[in-house]
Chains A and B, each alone.
Chain A
Amino acid sequence: MPAPTQNEIRILTPSGMLGYGFPIDHFKRGLALEPHAITIDSGSTDSGPQKLGLGEMTCSREAYLKDLEVLLGAQHDARVPLLISSAGGDGSNLHVDAFRDMIAEIAGRRGWRFRLATIHADIDKDHICRELKAGRVEPLGPVPPLDPREVEAATVVVAQMGAEPFIKALDEDRGLDVIVGGRAYDPAPTAAMAIRAGFDPALAWHMGKIMECGALCAEPVGYSIMGYLRRDHFEIEPLNPAERCTTASVAAHTLYEKSHPFLLAGPGGTLDLSNCTYEQVSERRVRVSGSRFDPGPRYTVKLEGARTAGWRSIFIAGARDPIFIGQIDSILDKTIAATRTYFAEVPPETYRIIPHVYGKNGVMGDLEPVKTPAHELCLIVEVAAATQKLATAICGKLRTGLMHAPYPGRIATAGNLASPFTPLEIPLGQACAFNVYHLMTVDSPTALFPIRYEEVA
Protein backbone atom coordinates (compact mmCIF):
# COMPACT_ATOMS: atom_id res chain seq x y z
CA MET A 1 0.00 0.00 0.00
CA PRO A 2 1.60 3.30 -1.05
CA ALA A 3 1.55 6.11 1.50
CA PRO A 4 -1.07 8.75 0.73
CA THR A 5 0.30 11.46 -1.52
CA GLN A 6 -2.17 13.92 -0.06
CA ASN A 7 -2.97 14.79 3.55
CA GLU A 8 -6.68 14.50 3.22
CA ILE A 9 -9.34 13.16 0.90
CA ARG A 10 -12.74 14.82 0.96
CA ILE A 11 -15.86 13.00 -0.16
CA LEU A 12 -19.30 14.52 -0.68
CA THR A 13 -22.38 12.31 -0.48
CA PRO A 14 -25.51 14.31 -1.31
CA SER A 15 -28.01 11.69 -0.22
CA GLY A 16 -28.34 8.15 1.04
CA MET A 17 -30.28 7.13 -2.04
CA LEU A 18 -30.06 8.38 -5.59
CA GLY A 19 -33.58 9.16 -6.73
CA TYR A 20 -34.98 10.33 -3.40
CA GLY A 21 -33.98 13.94 -4.07
CA PHE A 22 -31.78 16.13 -1.86
CA PRO A 23 -31.60 19.82 -0.87
CA ILE A 24 -29.62 21.66 -3.53
CA ASP A 25 -28.25 24.31 -1.15
CA HIS A 26 -26.74 21.65 1.14
CA PHE A 27 -25.19 19.93 -1.85
CA LYS A 28 -23.75 23.25 -3.10
CA ARG A 29 -22.30 23.91 0.34
CA GLY A 30 -20.49 20.60 -0.03
CA LEU A 31 -19.20 21.46 -3.50
CA ALA A 32 -17.71 24.68 -2.12
CA LEU A 33 -15.58 22.52 0.20
CA GLU A 34 -13.81 21.14 -2.89
CA PRO A 35 -14.51 17.41 -2.60
CA HIS A 36 -12.27 14.94 -4.43
CA ALA A 37 -15.33 12.91 -5.37
CA ILE A 38 -19.10 12.78 -5.18
CA THR A 39 -20.34 9.33 -4.21
CA ILE A 40 -23.93 8.19 -4.08
CA ASP A 41 -25.56 4.82 -3.65
CA SER A 42 -28.70 3.77 -5.43
CA GLY A 43 -29.10 0.27 -4.10
CA SER A 44 -31.19 -1.56 -1.57
CA THR A 45 -32.94 -4.88 -1.18
CA ASP A 46 -35.20 -3.17 1.33
CA SER A 47 -38.21 -2.43 -0.82
CA GLY A 48 -38.53 -6.00 -2.00
CA PRO A 49 -37.57 -8.74 -4.46
CA GLN A 50 -39.60 -7.34 -7.39
CA LYS A 51 -36.66 -5.27 -8.62
CA LEU A 52 -34.51 -8.33 -9.26
CA GLY A 53 -37.52 -10.52 -10.03
CA LEU A 54 -39.28 -8.26 -12.51
CA GLY A 55 -36.61 -5.75 -13.51
CA GLU A 56 -38.26 -2.84 -11.70
CA MET A 57 -36.29 0.14 -10.39
CA THR A 58 -36.56 1.57 -6.85
CA CYS A 59 -37.51 5.05 -8.07
CA SER A 60 -39.17 6.36 -11.20
CA ARG A 61 -37.10 7.27 -14.25
CA GLU A 62 -38.21 10.89 -13.72
CA ALA A 63 -36.85 10.87 -10.16
CA TYR A 64 -33.50 9.50 -11.31
CA LEU A 65 -33.28 12.01 -14.16
CA LYS A 66 -33.91 14.88 -11.76
CA ASP A 67 -31.18 13.81 -9.31
CA LEU A 68 -28.76 12.85 -12.07
CA GLU A 69 -29.08 16.21 -13.77
CA VAL A 70 -28.04 18.01 -10.57
CA LEU A 71 -25.11 15.63 -10.02
CA LEU A 72 -23.95 15.74 -13.63
CA GLY A 73 -24.20 19.53 -13.62
CA ALA A 74 -21.88 19.66 -10.62
CA GLN A 75 -19.53 17.18 -12.28
CA HIS A 76 -19.54 19.27 -15.43
CA ASP A 77 -18.80 22.54 -13.60
CA ALA A 78 -16.27 21.33 -11.02
CA ARG A 79 -14.85 18.27 -12.82
CA VAL A 80 -15.24 16.18 -9.64
CA PRO A 81 -15.55 12.44 -10.30
CA LEU A 82 -19.07 11.14 -9.71
CA LEU A 83 -19.32 7.53 -8.50
CA ILE A 84 -22.71 5.81 -8.43
CA SER A 85 -23.29 2.32 -7.05
CA SER A 86 -26.08 -0.27 -7.45
CA ALA A 87 -27.89 1.48 -10.27
CA GLY A 88 -31.66 1.32 -10.09
CA GLY A 89 -31.80 -0.45 -6.74
CA ASP A 90 -30.80 -3.98 -7.68
CA GLY A 91 -27.70 -3.00 -9.65
CA SER A 92 -28.56 -5.37 -12.49
CA ASN A 93 -27.08 -4.86 -15.97
CA LEU A 94 -30.52 -3.75 -17.15
CA HIS A 95 -30.47 -0.83 -14.73
CA VAL A 96 -26.79 0.06 -15.21
CA ASP A 97 -27.62 0.42 -18.89
CA ALA A 98 -30.78 2.40 -18.07
CA PHE A 99 -28.65 4.83 -16.02
CA ARG A 100 -26.14 5.03 -18.86
CA ASP A 101 -28.98 5.98 -21.22
CA MET A 102 -30.32 8.60 -18.80
CA ILE A 103 -26.85 10.14 -18.49
CA ALA A 104 -26.49 10.21 -22.28
CA GLU A 105 -29.94 11.80 -22.54
CA ILE A 106 -29.05 14.56 -20.05
CA ALA A 107 -25.63 15.10 -21.66
CA GLY A 108 -27.26 15.41 -25.07
CA ARG A 109 -29.92 17.81 -23.85
CA ARG A 110 -27.49 20.03 -21.93
CA GLY A 111 -24.56 19.86 -24.33
CA TRP A 112 -22.34 18.22 -21.71
CA ARG A 113 -19.63 15.63 -22.37
CA PHE A 114 -18.55 12.89 -19.95
CA ARG A 115 -15.99 10.09 -19.87
CA LEU A 116 -18.18 7.31 -18.47
CA ALA A 117 -17.44 3.85 -17.13
CA THR A 118 -20.19 1.33 -16.52
CA ILE A 119 -19.52 -1.75 -14.41
CA HIS A 120 -21.80 -4.74 -14.81
CA ALA A 121 -22.57 -7.12 -11.93
CA ASP A 122 -24.90 -9.79 -13.36
CA ILE A 123 -23.31 -13.19 -12.81
CA ASP A 124 -23.51 -16.02 -15.31
CA LYS A 125 -25.74 -18.76 -13.88
CA ASP A 126 -23.53 -21.58 -15.19
CA HIS A 127 -20.59 -20.00 -13.40
CA ILE A 128 -22.56 -19.95 -10.12
CA CYS A 129 -23.59 -23.60 -10.55
CA ARG A 130 -19.99 -24.62 -11.21
CA GLU A 131 -18.80 -22.77 -8.13
CA LEU A 132 -21.64 -24.29 -6.12
CA LYS A 133 -20.54 -27.77 -7.17
CA ALA A 134 -16.97 -26.88 -6.21
CA GLY A 135 -18.15 -25.98 -2.69
CA ARG A 136 -17.47 -22.26 -3.09
CA VAL A 137 -21.03 -21.02 -2.48
CA GLU A 138 -22.47 -20.88 1.03
CA PRO A 139 -25.61 -19.42 2.64
CA LEU A 140 -25.34 -15.93 4.12
CA GLY A 141 -27.06 -16.03 7.50
CA PRO A 142 -30.31 -17.93 8.10
CA VAL A 143 -30.71 -18.93 4.44
CA PRO A 144 -31.16 -22.45 3.02
CA PRO A 145 -28.22 -23.93 1.06
CA LEU A 146 -28.33 -22.93 -2.61
CA ASP A 147 -30.16 -25.30 -4.94
CA PRO A 148 -29.06 -25.09 -8.60
CA ARG A 149 -32.75 -25.11 -9.57
CA GLU A 150 -33.19 -21.84 -7.69
CA VAL A 151 -30.28 -20.32 -9.59
CA GLU A 152 -32.03 -21.37 -12.81
CA ALA A 153 -35.39 -20.00 -11.59
CA ALA A 154 -33.94 -16.61 -10.63
CA THR A 155 -34.69 -13.86 -13.15
CA VAL A 156 -31.19 -12.51 -12.66
CA VAL A 157 -28.40 -13.03 -10.12
CA VAL A 158 -26.10 -10.15 -9.25
CA ALA A 159 -23.00 -10.08 -7.07
CA GLN A 160 -22.07 -7.27 -4.76
CA MET A 161 -18.72 -5.86 -5.88
CA GLY A 162 -16.19 -4.34 -3.53
CA ALA A 163 -13.97 -1.30 -4.07
CA GLU A 164 -11.64 -3.01 -6.55
CA PRO A 165 -13.72 -2.64 -9.75
CA PHE A 166 -14.15 1.10 -9.06
CA ILE A 167 -10.39 1.43 -8.42
CA LYS A 168 -9.65 -0.50 -11.62
CA ALA A 169 -11.89 1.80 -13.65
CA LEU A 170 -10.22 4.90 -12.18
CA ASP A 171 -6.77 3.45 -12.90
CA GLU A 172 -7.54 2.35 -16.45
CA ASP A 173 -9.10 5.64 -17.53
CA ARG A 174 -7.44 8.56 -15.78
CA GLY A 175 -9.85 11.05 -17.33
CA LEU A 176 -12.97 9.37 -16.00
CA ASP A 177 -15.82 11.70 -15.02
CA VAL A 178 -18.58 9.30 -14.07
CA ILE A 179 -18.78 5.67 -12.95
CA VAL A 180 -22.09 3.84 -12.90
CA GLY A 181 -21.61 0.69 -10.91
CA GLY A 182 -23.89 -2.32 -10.89
CA ARG A 183 -24.61 -4.05 -7.58
CA ALA A 184 -21.94 -2.92 -5.12
CA TYR A 185 -21.37 -2.96 -1.40
CA ASP A 186 -22.83 0.42 -0.48
CA PRO A 187 -19.59 1.98 0.87
CA ALA A 188 -17.53 0.82 -2.15
CA PRO A 189 -17.38 4.10 -4.13
CA THR A 190 -16.19 6.11 -1.10
CA ALA A 191 -13.82 3.36 -0.01
CA ALA A 192 -12.44 3.07 -3.56
CA MET A 193 -11.53 6.77 -3.72
CA ALA A 194 -9.77 6.65 -0.35
CA ILE A 195 -7.99 3.31 -0.78
CA ARG A 196 -6.78 4.32 -4.24
CA ALA A 197 -5.29 7.51 -2.74
CA GLY A 198 -3.33 5.36 -0.30
CA PHE A 199 -5.37 5.79 2.87
CA ASP A 200 -6.04 3.10 5.46
CA PRO A 201 -8.68 0.67 4.07
CA ALA A 202 -10.26 0.23 7.51
CA LEU A 203 -10.91 3.96 7.83
CA ALA A 204 -11.97 4.12 4.18
CA TRP A 205 -14.58 1.38 4.64
CA HIS A 206 -15.79 2.81 7.92
CA MET A 207 -16.20 6.31 6.50
CA GLY A 208 -17.94 4.83 3.46
CA LYS A 209 -20.21 2.82 5.70
CA ILE A 210 -21.39 5.95 7.46
CA MET A 211 -21.62 8.12 4.36
CA GLU A 212 -23.53 5.68 2.17
CA CYS A 213 -26.65 6.60 4.16
CA GLY A 214 -26.09 10.33 3.59
CA ALA A 215 -26.71 12.33 6.76
CA LEU A 216 -28.66 9.56 8.46
CA CYS A 217 -25.94 9.64 11.13
CA ALA A 218 -26.81 13.27 12.02
CA GLU A 219 -29.25 14.66 14.56
CA PRO A 220 -31.83 15.29 13.26
CA VAL A 221 -31.27 12.96 10.32
CA GLY A 222 -30.70 14.68 6.97
CA TYR A 223 -29.46 14.20 3.44
CA SER A 224 -26.02 15.57 2.59
CA ILE A 225 -22.78 14.75 4.36
CA MET A 226 -19.09 15.55 3.98
CA GLY A 227 -16.32 13.15 4.98
CA TYR A 228 -12.66 14.07 5.54
CA LEU A 229 -10.31 11.11 5.59
CA ARG A 230 -6.74 11.59 6.86
CA ARG A 231 -3.81 9.35 7.73
CA ASP A 232 -5.08 7.99 11.05
CA HIS A 233 -8.67 9.17 11.40
CA PHE A 234 -11.64 10.57 9.54
CA GLU A 235 -14.11 13.32 10.32
CA ILE A 236 -17.72 13.56 9.37
CA GLU A 237 -20.03 16.59 9.27
CA PRO A 238 -23.53 17.13 7.87
CA LEU A 239 -23.94 19.86 5.26
CA ASN A 240 -27.17 21.21 6.69
CA PRO A 241 -26.19 23.74 9.41
CA ALA A 242 -29.33 22.73 11.34
CA GLU A 243 -27.98 19.20 11.77
CA ARG A 244 -25.06 17.96 13.81
CA CYS A 245 -23.07 14.78 14.13
CA THR A 246 -22.51 13.72 17.71
CA THR A 247 -20.27 10.98 19.04
CA ALA A 248 -23.44 9.12 20.03
CA SER A 249 -25.20 9.58 16.68
CA VAL A 250 -22.16 8.49 14.67
CA ALA A 251 -21.30 5.55 16.92
CA ALA A 252 -24.91 4.35 16.95
CA HIS A 253 -25.33 4.70 13.19
CA THR A 254 -23.61 1.40 12.51
CA LEU A 255 -26.42 -0.36 14.38
CA TYR A 256 -28.87 0.65 11.67
CA GLU A 257 -30.04 -2.21 9.41
CA LYS A 258 -27.01 -4.25 10.36
CA SER A 259 -26.91 -7.71 11.79
CA HIS A 260 -24.14 -6.89 14.28
CA PRO A 261 -23.15 -3.48 15.68
CA PHE A 262 -19.37 -3.77 15.36
CA LEU A 263 -18.62 -6.52 12.87
CA LEU A 264 -19.63 -5.54 9.36
CA ALA A 265 -18.87 -8.15 6.73
CA GLY A 266 -18.45 -7.02 3.14
CA PRO A 267 -16.66 -8.04 -0.05
CA GLY A 268 -13.14 -9.09 0.83
CA GLY A 269 -13.30 -8.80 4.58
CA THR A 270 -14.87 -7.67 7.80
CA LEU A 271 -14.82 -4.20 9.27
CA ASP A 272 -14.31 -4.35 13.04
CA LEU A 273 -15.46 -1.25 14.91
CA SER A 274 -15.22 -2.63 18.43
CA ASN A 275 -12.20 -0.47 19.31
CA CYS A 276 -13.21 2.75 17.63
CA THR A 277 -12.88 6.11 19.31
CA TYR A 278 -15.36 8.88 18.62
CA GLU A 279 -14.43 12.48 19.47
CA GLN A 280 -16.51 15.63 19.20
CA VAL A 281 -14.10 18.01 17.42
CA SER A 282 -16.61 20.79 16.92
CA GLU A 283 -20.27 21.27 17.64
CA ARG A 284 -21.29 19.51 14.43
CA ARG A 285 -18.30 17.38 13.56
CA VAL A 286 -17.08 14.01 14.87
CA ARG A 287 -13.65 12.43 14.51
CA VAL A 288 -13.38 8.65 14.26
CA SER A 289 -10.31 6.48 14.68
CA GLY A 290 -9.42 2.93 15.61
CA SER A 291 -11.37 1.12 12.85
CA ARG A 292 -9.88 -2.24 11.84
CA PHE A 293 -10.31 -4.35 8.73
CA ASP A 294 -9.80 -8.09 8.69
CA PRO A 295 -9.38 -9.37 5.12
CA GLY A 296 -10.34 -12.90 6.15
CA PRO A 297 -9.04 -16.12 4.64
CA ARG A 298 -10.88 -15.83 1.27
CA TYR A 299 -12.39 -13.11 -0.87
CA THR A 300 -16.15 -13.59 -1.04
CA VAL A 301 -18.90 -11.65 -2.77
CA LYS A 302 -22.59 -11.74 -1.94
CA LEU A 303 -24.93 -13.12 -4.58
CA GLU A 304 -28.49 -11.79 -4.74
CA GLY A 305 -31.31 -13.17 -6.84
CA ALA A 306 -35.07 -13.33 -6.95
CA ARG A 307 -37.64 -15.35 -8.85
CA THR A 308 -41.25 -14.84 -9.74
CA ALA A 309 -43.62 -16.73 -7.48
CA GLY A 310 -47.10 -16.70 -9.03
CA TRP A 311 -49.77 -14.05 -9.46
CA ARG A 312 -51.58 -12.20 -6.74
CA SER A 313 -54.96 -10.57 -6.27
CA ILE A 314 -56.36 -8.98 -3.14
CA PHE A 315 -59.55 -7.54 -1.84
CA ILE A 316 -59.82 -4.83 0.78
CA ALA A 317 -62.85 -4.52 3.04
CA GLY A 318 -63.81 -2.98 6.35
CA ALA A 319 -65.83 -4.61 9.12
CA ARG A 320 -67.60 -2.69 11.87
CA ASP A 321 -70.24 -5.04 13.31
CA PRO A 322 -69.08 -6.17 16.78
CA ILE A 323 -70.93 -9.50 16.49
CA PHE A 324 -69.02 -10.24 13.26
CA ILE A 325 -65.68 -8.94 14.61
CA GLY A 326 -66.00 -11.14 17.69
CA GLN A 327 -66.06 -14.23 15.46
CA ILE A 328 -63.70 -13.10 12.73
CA ASP A 329 -61.30 -16.06 12.98
CA SER A 330 -63.93 -18.76 12.69
CA ILE A 331 -65.83 -16.90 9.93
CA LEU A 332 -62.62 -16.56 7.90
CA ASP A 333 -61.70 -20.22 8.44
CA LYS A 334 -65.12 -21.42 7.26
CA THR A 335 -65.18 -19.11 4.25
CA ILE A 336 -61.68 -20.13 3.17
CA ALA A 337 -62.60 -23.82 3.55
CA ALA A 338 -65.75 -23.31 1.47
CA THR A 339 -63.76 -21.50 -1.21
CA ARG A 340 -61.22 -24.30 -1.34
CA THR A 341 -64.05 -26.81 -1.73
CA TYR A 342 -65.53 -24.75 -4.55
CA PHE A 343 -62.18 -24.72 -6.38
CA ALA A 344 -61.69 -28.46 -5.91
CA GLU A 345 -60.34 -28.82 -9.46
CA VAL A 346 -57.32 -26.61 -8.63
CA PRO A 347 -54.54 -28.53 -6.84
CA PRO A 348 -54.60 -27.05 -3.32
CA GLU A 349 -50.82 -26.71 -3.07
CA THR A 350 -50.76 -24.46 -6.17
CA TYR A 351 -52.53 -21.53 -4.56
CA ARG A 352 -52.48 -19.71 -1.23
CA ILE A 353 -55.05 -17.66 0.65
CA ILE A 354 -53.67 -15.36 3.32
CA PRO A 355 -55.97 -13.06 5.30
CA HIS A 356 -54.39 -9.91 6.77
CA VAL A 357 -56.67 -8.69 9.55
CA TYR A 358 -55.77 -5.12 10.47
CA GLY A 359 -57.17 -4.11 13.82
CA LYS A 360 -56.41 -7.58 15.11
CA ASN A 361 -52.95 -8.77 14.07
CA GLY A 362 -52.37 -7.48 10.53
CA VAL A 363 -48.88 -6.15 11.28
CA MET A 364 -47.43 -8.73 13.67
CA GLY A 365 -49.43 -11.87 12.89
CA ASP A 366 -48.91 -14.61 15.46
CA LEU A 367 -46.42 -12.43 17.36
CA GLU A 368 -49.10 -9.85 18.21
CA PRO A 369 -49.21 -9.56 22.00
CA VAL A 370 -52.63 -7.81 22.09
CA LYS A 371 -55.36 -10.39 21.66
CA THR A 372 -58.50 -8.21 21.68
CA PRO A 373 -59.49 -6.86 18.25
CA ALA A 374 -60.29 -3.20 17.69
CA HIS A 375 -63.82 -1.81 17.15
CA GLU A 376 -63.34 -1.93 13.38
CA LEU A 377 -61.20 -4.12 11.18
CA CYS A 378 -59.61 -3.77 7.78
CA LEU A 379 -59.43 -7.08 5.97
CA ILE A 380 -56.96 -7.50 3.16
CA VAL A 381 -57.17 -10.98 1.77
CA GLU A 382 -54.26 -12.04 -0.38
CA VAL A 383 -54.60 -14.82 -2.93
CA ALA A 384 -51.61 -16.15 -4.86
CA ALA A 385 -52.17 -18.58 -7.72
CA ALA A 386 -50.64 -19.77 -10.97
CA THR A 387 -52.36 -17.14 -13.12
CA GLN A 388 -53.79 -13.67 -12.56
CA LYS A 389 -57.25 -14.79 -13.69
CA LEU A 390 -57.32 -17.67 -11.23
CA ALA A 391 -56.06 -15.49 -8.37
CA THR A 392 -58.81 -12.96 -9.08
CA ALA A 393 -61.46 -15.66 -9.40
CA ILE A 394 -60.53 -17.22 -6.04
CA CYS A 395 -60.35 -13.76 -4.50
CA GLY A 396 -63.84 -12.93 -5.81
CA LYS A 397 -65.36 -16.13 -4.51
CA LEU A 398 -63.81 -15.46 -1.10
CA ARG A 399 -65.03 -11.89 -0.99
CA THR A 400 -68.62 -12.74 -1.86
CA GLY A 401 -68.50 -15.70 0.50
CA LEU A 402 -67.33 -13.49 3.32
CA MET A 403 -69.80 -10.73 2.44
CA HIS A 404 -72.74 -13.09 2.91
CA ALA A 405 -71.30 -15.58 5.40
CA PRO A 406 -73.78 -16.64 8.06
CA TYR A 407 -72.51 -16.68 11.64
CA PRO A 408 -74.10 -17.26 15.03
CA GLY A 409 -76.02 -14.23 16.30
CA ARG A 410 -76.01 -12.44 12.92
CA ILE A 411 -78.62 -9.68 12.76
CA ALA A 412 -77.04 -7.58 9.96
CA THR A 413 -78.33 -9.90 7.25
CA ALA A 414 -77.65 -7.69 4.22
CA GLY A 415 -73.86 -7.98 4.17
CA ASN A 416 -70.77 -8.32 6.38
CA LEU A 417 -68.24 -6.12 4.58
CA ALA A 418 -67.79 -2.43 3.83
CA SER A 419 -65.97 -2.25 0.49
CA PRO A 420 -64.22 1.04 -0.25
CA PHE A 421 -62.93 0.51 -3.79
CA THR A 422 -63.61 -0.85 -7.21
CA PRO A 423 -62.38 -3.04 -8.62
CA LEU A 424 -63.60 -5.09 -5.68
CA GLU A 425 -60.87 -7.61 -6.46
CA ILE A 426 -57.57 -5.96 -7.25
CA PRO A 427 -55.03 -7.75 -9.44
CA LEU A 428 -51.48 -7.16 -8.15
CA GLY A 429 -49.50 -8.82 -10.92
CA GLN A 430 -46.64 -11.19 -10.27
CA ALA A 431 -45.30 -11.87 -6.82
CA CYS A 432 -41.55 -12.33 -6.35
CA ALA A 433 -39.33 -14.03 -3.81
CA PHE A 434 -35.67 -13.64 -2.92
CA ASN A 435 -34.17 -17.05 -3.59
CA VAL A 436 -30.43 -16.41 -3.80
CA TYR A 437 -28.63 -14.73 -0.90
CA HIS A 438 -25.31 -16.51 -0.67
CA LEU A 439 -21.60 -15.89 -0.46
CA MET A 440 -19.40 -16.99 -3.33
CA THR A 441 -15.64 -17.28 -3.10
CA VAL A 442 -13.83 -15.57 -5.94
CA ASP A 443 -10.22 -15.68 -7.11
CA SER A 444 -10.27 -12.12 -8.37
CA PRO A 445 -12.25 -9.20 -6.94
CA THR A 446 -12.60 -7.69 -10.42
CA ALA A 447 -12.97 -10.60 -12.88
CA LEU A 448 -16.74 -10.93 -12.45
CA PHE A 449 -17.37 -7.23 -13.01
CA PRO A 450 -16.64 -6.17 -16.59
CA ILE A 451 -16.03 -2.47 -17.16
CA ARG A 452 -16.98 -0.58 -20.31
CA TYR A 453 -15.60 2.86 -21.12
CA GLU A 454 -17.20 5.38 -23.42
CA GLU A 455 -17.70 9.03 -24.03
CA VAL A 456 -21.25 10.33 -23.81
CA ALA A 457 -22.18 13.71 -25.24
Chain B
Amino acid sequence: MTAVPTPLRDIAKVVRSKNAGPFEITLDIIFKSKEDYEAVKRSGVITKELVSELYNVPTQAIVTFGFFDLVNAVKITLPRPRVQGGIGETDMHAAQQHVPLQEIRIPWPVACSS
Protein backbone atom coordinates (compact mmCIF):
# COMPACT_ATOMS: atom_id res chain seq x y z
CA MET B 1 0.00 0.00 0.00
CA THR B 2 1.14 3.47 -0.82
CA ALA B 3 -0.49 6.83 -0.07
CA VAL B 4 -1.58 9.06 -2.94
CA PRO B 5 -3.04 12.58 -2.57
CA THR B 6 -6.74 11.96 -3.23
CA PRO B 7 -9.46 14.62 -3.44
CA LEU B 8 -12.08 14.48 -0.71
CA ARG B 9 -14.81 14.12 -3.36
CA ASP B 10 -13.44 10.62 -4.06
CA ILE B 11 -13.41 9.69 -0.37
CA ALA B 12 -16.47 11.22 1.31
CA LYS B 13 -20.11 10.17 0.95
CA VAL B 14 -21.39 13.74 1.26
CA VAL B 15 -19.69 17.10 0.81
CA ARG B 16 -22.27 19.88 0.91
CA SER B 17 -22.98 23.47 1.83
CA LYS B 18 -26.20 25.18 2.88
CA ASN B 19 -27.52 28.19 4.75
CA ALA B 20 -27.89 27.76 8.48
CA GLY B 21 -30.20 30.75 8.78
CA PRO B 22 -29.63 33.97 6.78
CA PHE B 23 -26.34 34.84 8.47
CA GLU B 24 -24.43 31.55 8.47
CA ILE B 25 -23.28 28.96 5.98
CA THR B 26 -22.71 25.41 7.13
CA LEU B 27 -20.56 22.78 5.44
CA ASP B 28 -20.83 19.04 6.06
CA ILE B 29 -18.39 16.30 5.14
CA ILE B 30 -19.91 12.90 5.89
CA PHE B 31 -17.91 9.71 5.41
CA LYS B 32 -18.92 6.27 4.14
CA SER B 33 -17.47 4.47 7.14
CA LYS B 34 -15.96 4.98 10.55
CA GLU B 35 -12.63 3.80 9.07
CA ASP B 36 -12.59 6.46 6.35
CA TYR B 37 -13.63 9.12 8.86
CA GLU B 38 -10.92 8.13 11.31
CA ALA B 39 -8.31 8.01 8.55
CA VAL B 40 -9.14 11.53 7.36
CA LYS B 41 -9.21 12.78 10.95
CA ARG B 42 -5.81 11.18 11.60
CA SER B 43 -4.33 12.70 8.43
CA GLY B 44 -4.54 16.12 10.10
CA VAL B 45 -5.17 17.80 6.75
CA ILE B 46 -8.56 19.34 7.59
CA THR B 47 -7.93 22.10 10.07
CA LYS B 48 -9.42 25.42 11.07
CA GLU B 49 -6.47 27.08 9.38
CA LEU B 50 -7.19 25.35 6.08
CA VAL B 51 -10.86 26.36 6.26
CA SER B 52 -9.82 29.91 7.09
CA GLU B 53 -7.67 29.98 3.95
CA LEU B 54 -10.21 28.32 1.62
CA TYR B 55 -13.10 30.52 2.70
CA ASN B 56 -11.20 33.71 3.51
CA VAL B 57 -12.58 33.76 7.06
CA PRO B 58 -10.39 34.53 10.10
CA THR B 59 -10.09 31.43 12.31
CA GLN B 60 -11.60 33.29 15.27
CA ALA B 61 -14.75 34.03 13.19
CA ILE B 62 -15.41 30.32 12.51
CA VAL B 63 -18.68 29.51 14.30
CA THR B 64 -18.33 25.72 14.43
CA PHE B 65 -15.46 23.47 13.41
CA GLY B 66 -15.18 19.89 14.46
CA PHE B 67 -14.88 16.19 13.81
CA PHE B 68 -18.01 14.61 15.23
CA ASP B 69 -17.45 10.92 15.91
CA LEU B 70 -21.09 9.99 16.48
CA VAL B 71 -22.00 10.88 12.90
CA ASN B 72 -18.64 10.25 11.16
CA ALA B 73 -18.70 13.81 9.94
CA VAL B 74 -16.86 17.09 9.87
CA LYS B 75 -19.04 20.12 10.41
CA ILE B 76 -17.97 23.66 9.68
CA THR B 77 -20.14 26.73 10.15
CA LEU B 78 -18.99 30.14 8.94
CA PRO B 79 -20.42 33.64 8.85
CA ARG B 80 -22.05 34.13 5.47
CA PRO B 81 -19.94 36.31 3.13
CA ARG B 82 -23.08 38.45 2.69
CA VAL B 83 -26.49 38.31 4.32
CA GLN B 84 -28.70 35.86 2.46
CA GLY B 85 -30.81 37.12 -0.41
CA GLY B 86 -29.73 40.75 -0.40
CA ILE B 87 -28.24 42.82 -3.21
CA GLY B 88 -25.26 41.03 -4.75
CA GLU B 89 -26.34 37.53 -3.71
CA THR B 90 -24.80 34.77 -5.81
CA ASP B 91 -26.13 31.70 -4.03
CA MET B 92 -29.44 32.17 -2.19
CA HIS B 93 -29.34 28.77 -0.50
CA ALA B 94 -25.52 28.64 -0.27
CA ALA B 95 -25.90 25.24 -1.90
CA GLN B 96 -22.82 25.47 -4.17
CA GLN B 97 -20.15 26.74 -1.80
CA HIS B 98 -18.75 23.30 -0.97
CA VAL B 99 -16.42 22.89 -3.93
CA PRO B 100 -13.18 24.05 -2.24
CA LEU B 101 -13.73 21.27 0.33
CA GLN B 102 -14.19 18.64 -2.39
CA GLU B 103 -10.79 19.51 -3.75
CA ILE B 104 -8.89 19.02 -0.49
CA ARG B 105 -6.25 16.33 -1.09
CA ILE B 106 -5.85 13.65 1.58
CA PRO B 107 -2.94 11.18 1.47
CA TRP B 108 -4.94 8.04 0.78
CA PRO B 109 -3.80 4.44 0.60
CA VAL B 110 -4.06 2.74 -2.79
CA ALA B 111 -3.17 -0.86 -3.54
CA CYS B 112 0.26 -1.26 -5.20
CA SER B 113 0.21 -3.15 -8.48
CA SER B 114 3.76 -4.47 -8.05
Cross-chain contact A261 with B90 (CB below 8 angstroms)? no
Cross-chain contact B64 with A259 (CB below 8 angstroms)? yes
The majority secondary structure among interface residues of chain B is loop
Chain B residues near A309 (CB-CB < 8 A): 86-87
Q: How far is the CA of A142 from the CA of B66 in the complex (A)?
A: 18
Task: Provide the A44-72 mask, 1 if CB < 8 A to any CB of B, else 0.
Answer: 01111110000000000000000000000
Chain A residues near B85 (CB-CB < 8 A): 47-50, 432-434
Residue A141 lies at the interface, judged by CB distance under 8 Å to chain B: yes
Residue A431 lies at the interface, judged by CB distance under 8 Å to chain B: yes
Question: For chain A residues 30-50, which have a beta carbon within 8 Å of chain B?
Answer: 45-50
Chain B residues near A310 (CB-CB < 8 A): 87
Across the interface, B93 reaches (CB within 8 A) one of A46, A274, A312, A362, namely: A46
Interface with A: B4-12, B14-22, B39-47, B105-113, which one? B14-22
Cross-chain contact A257 with B22 (CB below 8 angstroms)? no
Residue A352 lies at the interface, judged by CB distance under 8 Å to chain B: yes
Cross-chain contact A431 with B87 (CB below 8 angstroms)? yes
Task: Provide the A235-261 mask, 1 if CB < 8 A to any CB of B, else 0.
Answer: 000000000000010011011111111
Task: Provide the B57-77 mask, 1 if CB < 8 A to any CB of A, else 0.
Answer: 000010110101011110101
Across the interface, B24 reaches (CB within 8 A) one of A46, A142, A274, namely: A142
Most buried by B among A257, A274, A276: A257
Taking the closest CB of chain A, its distance from the CB of B66, in whole angstroms, is 8
Number of A-B contacts (CB under 8 A): 133
Residue A346 lies at the interface, judged by CB distance under 8 Å to chain B: no
Residue B3 lies at the interface, judged by CB distance under 8 Å to chain A: no
Interface range on chain A (Cβ under 8 Å from partner): 35 or more
Cross-chain contact A261 with B63 (CB below 8 angstroms)? no
Q: How far is the CA of A175 from the CA of B20 in the complex (A)?
A: 37
Across the interface, A259 reaches (CB within 8 A) one of B21, B90, B96, namely: B21
Chain B residues near A140 (CB-CB < 8 A): 21, 23
Taking the closest CB of chain B, its distance from the CB of A221, in whole angstroms, is 12
Chain A residues near B71 (CB-CB < 8 A): 248, 251-252, 254-255, 261
Chain A residues near B96 (CB-CB < 8 A): 363-364
Chain B residues near A369 (CB-CB < 8 A): 54, 99-100, 103
A261 with B87, Cβ < 8 A, contacts A46-B93, A141-B23 known: no
Residue B36 lies at the interface, judged by CB distance under 8 Å to chain A: no
Taking the closest CB of chain A, its distance from the CB of B101, in whole angstroms, is 11
Residue A356 lies at the interface, judged by CB distance under 8 Å to chain B: yes
Chain A residues near B22 (CB-CB < 8 A): 45, 49, 434, 437
Interface residues of A (CB under 8 A from B): 45-50, 140-143, 248, 251-252, 254-262, 274, 276, 309-310, 312, 352, 354, 356, 362-367, 369, 382, 384, 431-434, 437
Sample (28) of A-B pairs whose CB atoms are under 8 Å apart: A45-B21, A47-B92, A48-B84, A49-B86, A50-B85, A142-B24, A142-B63, A142-B79, A142-B80, A251-B71, A252-B14, A252-B72, A255-B28, A255-B71, A256-B18, A256-B28, A257-B18, A261-B64, A309-B86, A356-B90, A363-B97, A364-B97, A364-B100, A367-B55, A433-B85, A434-B84, A437-B21, A437-B23
